[in-house]
Amino acid sequence: MFCDVKLPILPCSLLVFCVLSVNLPAADVIAHYPFDKDLSSIAGAVPEMTSNGDAHVDASTFKFGGGSLAMDGEDDSAWVGEPAFQFHQEDFAISFWYRRNNPDNIFEPLVGHGDSTGDIGYAVRLLPNPKKNEPGWIDGLLNDGPEKGVQTPQPLEQTGDFQHVVFQRREGTLELFLNGELVASKPGFGEEDLGRKSGFSYAFAVGTRSTKMDGSGSKGSFNGNIDEVWVFNAGLTPGQVKALKEKNKPN
């Protein structure tokens, strides 16, 4: 694994072999899923993920240091039912890489909590563009509200290549980074409560959405690979975002 994101020393059973260099306080890391060998987190005290369908860790072709989570778009995904992933009004950040198999301009969920589940949570997803000759959108949003989100055009050459995404709320401002660069931001969301309707009834999911704490209710499925999922209960500086991108490159 090639994570080079500096945290204070944690018990080796949690940290394993991360090399640290970015000064991310341990208290800010909810989980880190490298998908090198399995679905477990190595930088948090949360349970390992559970796979739906035939989602599996694929170390044969696309890898950052051991593997990535592979999904074929046929109702497979991974999820973890854990209250630690539910945020209210605090800042947060989610960071991950995705590689899309499907070049078509369609909707595909990526990473998030809730989404389309009764005005709850946060999510990053791929949206189609009604203009068929233009790329779709990478969309990061709160509480399933288009007016409560930020978006940027999908890379034109995205199939076959991993793209790095960070979506976060930092000091009340929504920020979306693509491949280490800030591409969209929107202020005024410090009061938005991401858990005001559901309590802890929804899971954190990769490759799908609307997943309940027991894994039921999932909607949609991503067709491609997702890797190096980090979840923080704080926003990241631009320097920390770039470090996550630069130090977790594919082989």
| Domains of the chain, residue spans | 12-246
Strand order in the sheet with 149-153: 50-52, 77-80, 204-206, 108-114, 121-127, 137-142, 149-153
What secondary structure does DSSP assign to 139-158, as a single string? EEEETT-GGGEEEEEPPTT-
pLDDT at 41: 92
Whether residue 115 has pLDDT greater than 90: no
Q: Which of 100-104, 114-118, 180-184, 218-222 has the least mean pLDDT?
A: 114-118
Question: What does the pLDDT look like over 7-30, one tens digit per residue?
Answer: 333 333 333 334 344 566 666 999
Global pTM?
Answer: 0.88
Task: Tell me the C-alpha distance between 174 and 147, whole Å.
Answer: 11
Whether residue 36 has pLDDT greater than 70: yes
Count of beta carbons in the 10 Å neighbourhood of residue 226 = 26
For the domain covering 12-246, report its CATH number.
Answer: 2.60.120.200
